[in-house]
Amino acid sequence: MLLAIFLLPMTGYISTGFATADQEVQQTNPRADYWRLVRDNSEGYSAVTGRETNELIQSSGQNWRQLRNGPIATFGSWILGFTLAVLALFYIWRGQVPLTHPRTGQTVERWTLNERRIHWVTAGLFLVLAITGLSLLYGRAVLIPLFGHHGFSAYAELAKLAHNILGPVFMIGLLSMLVHWFKQNFFSKVDLDWFKAFGGMIGDNHPSAGKLNGGEKLWFWSLATAGIALCLSGLVLDFPNFDQEREIIQISHLIHVITALALIAFAFGHIYIGTVGTEGALEGMVTGQVDTAWAQQHHDLWLQELQQQKPKSD
């Protein structure tokens, strides 16, 4: 499509043979003023109608690209790599946190079927979005050497399509989780003591906790803040023709990338503790039931509440 843009009249200089040094510079680049106006986001006339069509070059686009591909991508890779390295070293040093008492064989319901559905659907979407998002951010540096340009191009097209379609679905799942568990995630003094004891990950004594411990609550509020920012900025990117200016899209993209990297790093810790880091933790989210020995060790206050609510048999 041919785009005709007319800015301020271009000025030139016809040399008379007695040009000064400044005039010689102007003669060397007679369109300097023209491109200076273009770089300053000056608007001209365009036959094309639409948002910002009269603006030939937007200088902030270059600033956005340098931030995304420079410090954000660099520090993001450091943060993710550092988090994985710390978790690996911690597992080598500590191993899996075992149950301090033998299993009783008696179980209590920790998560209902509906709660587990919400969790696994949202978690699965998060993993797909994390993989596709990271591959789009680091694909040129990491995947092109592995797949080649054509292979990466085909994958990137599918990854982008999946990311754009599943993003709004993830937002629905996230909002369902936040609404469902909102009342259970207010911090208390018990949670402060839990953090002081490092959640029982270090040492043999495990701190008291209600149904949700301090770490789970911290993860919830991270999703409620950074997660919401991630979703809202993603909507701006997913639907770029809703009259947003390019600068708004660029800022939204930076917010999207930063919050995504932060949540992925946090998710590494959440996944570690809920799987290989703690014996019996995964059982609750898979089957819905946990052994009372596990509940007593990790969520003793919650177990006491359940026992008090249980009707006494005759």
60-111+181-309: what fold?
A: Fumarate Reductase Cytochrome B subunit (1.20.950)
- Count CB neighbours of 288 within 10 A: 16
Res 311 pLDDT > 90:
no
Tell me the CA distances in angstroms from 173 to 85, 261, 265, one per residue in order.
30, 19, 20
Q: What is the pLDDT of residue 256?
A: 97
Task: Write the CA distances from 246 to 40, 65, 113, 137, 163, integer angstroms.
Answer: 15, 13, 44, 19, 21
Burial class, 129, CB count within 10 angstroms (exposed 0-12 / middle 13-18 / buried 19+): buried
pLDDT tens digits for range 201-229 = 988 788 999 999 999 999 999 999 999 99
4, pLDDT greater than 60? no
Q: Is the pLDDT of residue 313 over 60?
A: no
Q: What is the largest CA-CA distance in the chain?
A: 115
Mean pLDDT along residues 82-96: 96
The rounded percent of the chain whose pLDDT value lies above 90 is 72
Report whether pLDDT(194) > 70: yes
Per-residue pLDDT tens digits for 106-125: 999 999 999 999 999 999 99
Torsion from C-alpha of 186, 191, 192, 196, nearest 10 degrees: -150
The whole-number pLDDT of residue 81 equals 97
Place of tokens 């969520």: 299
Tens of pLDDT, residues 269-308: 999 999 999 999 999 999 999 999 999 999 999 999 999 8
The answer to which of 11-15, 46-50, 170-174, 279-283 has the lowest mean pLDDT is: 11-15
- Has residue 37 got a pLDDT over 70? no
Lowest-confidence region among 28-37, 71-80, 214-223, 275-284: 28-37
Summary mean pLDDT of the chain: 87
The pair of three-digit structure tokens given for residue 182, joined into one six-digit string = 């909102």
pLDDT of residue 110: 96
pLDDT digits (tens, 9 = 90+) for 15-26: 444 445 555 545
In angstroms, how far is the first alpha carbon of the chain from the final one?
84
If one compares 77 and 241, the residue with the highest pLDDT of the two is 77
Q: What are phi and psi of 289, to 5 degrees?
A: -115, 145
164 forms beta bridges with none
Sequence-separated (6 or more) residues with CB below 8 Å from residue 82: none
Burial of 231 (0-12, 13-18, 19+ CB in 10 A): buried
Query: Does the pLDDT value for residue 2 go beyond 70?
Result: no
- For the chain, the structural domain boundaries read 5-46, 60-111+181-309
pTM of structure = 0.83
Tokens of 19: 């040009």
